[in-house]
Amino acid sequence: MSETPAARSDLDRAAFRRADPQWLADAWSRGRVVVVGDDGRALIRDERLVLFGSGEVGAAGPTGEPLFLGVDAGGTAYFAVNRELPEVPGAEPKHLWEVGADLPPRETSLLTQALALVRWHRDHLYAPRSGKPTTVEQGGWVRRDADGEQHFPRTDPAVIMAVHDGVAGPQGRILLGANVVWAGAAKRRYSVLAGFVEAGETAEDAVAREVYEEAGVRVSDIRYHGSQAFPYPRSLMLGFIAVADPAADPLRTDPDELLDAQWFTREQVARVLDGSDDSFTLPNRSSIAHQLVLTWLRAG
């Protein structure tokens, strides 16, 4: 099992501190703050996440108060707020997917966590059953409705899988698809297949079902690879590697999901990654999809 970007963090989430308003207030006064704009971008300068003092930003956005992220080994507390990005010389607004592979691991983790929390709060201002406003508690990790019911940040499990033919060497092949959401891209983009885990379903069953539904291919030898938080808006990507026989099942793509699907050789994928072939693109380096492709490529 290999690590994906933001797969590990040295930040202590310190959940026991969330119910202590006095501690949170004191920590906020001397903490460091991640500011997330309404479009999900944060400020980046010199490949570092720009952090602020609480006095520089204040609390803003839909939550009305800061969101507690955790504490580092030195005792510094970190928070997130959702507001207009401040003006900082030399800094540029960037999306997580643009910079996640280049930031230090802690900063990638901070931005991932901040983005996930901000988006959950923006989507849960009202109770789903009564429609009444909810209020923030426990440093942003709970919203309580007028009936006293607590609501917690939601995470949706999804599977993402590198399906290959089990053949070693440059002619070994991997199954990649072009998603319909990328229809407007200047160059066709291919990636590993993915989909959400359904109610009452195991992750392994979801792998087999999604590959068959999207591409008509039956898989075997499903093995867990690793995971990645994917706050777009609230997924946890569970990565797998599986094997299939290209000769056994002709490709049959679901037009609602894929523009195209093809088996690509290691030779083809390696040329795209080193820039000698620009006929199509692959997932960006900050994604678990990229890591799955690299794992398969290097195994041959």
Q: What is the pLDDT along the chain (300 residues), one digit of tens a residue?
A: 445 655 567 899 999 999 999 999 999 999 999 999 999 999 999 999 999 999 898 665 555 689 999 999 999 999 999 999 999 999 999 999 999 989 999 999 999 999 999 999 999 999 999 999 999 999 999 999 999 999 999 999 999 999 999 999 999 999 999 999 999 888 999 999 999 999 999 999 999 999 999 999 999 999 999 999 999 889 999 999 999 999 999 999 999 999 999 999 999 999 999 999 999 999 999 899 999 999 999 998
Q: How far apart are CA 117 and CA 115, in angstroms?
A: 6
Predicted TM-score (pTM) of the model is 0.90
Q: Rounded to the nearest 5°, which phi and psi values hold at 293?
A: -65, -45
Token pair, residue 103, equals: 């930031």
Q: Which two tokens stand for residue 10?
A: 């040295």
Q: Which class for 129: exposed (0-12), middle (13-18), buried (19 or more C-beta within 10 A)?
A: exposed
Residue type, 268: Q
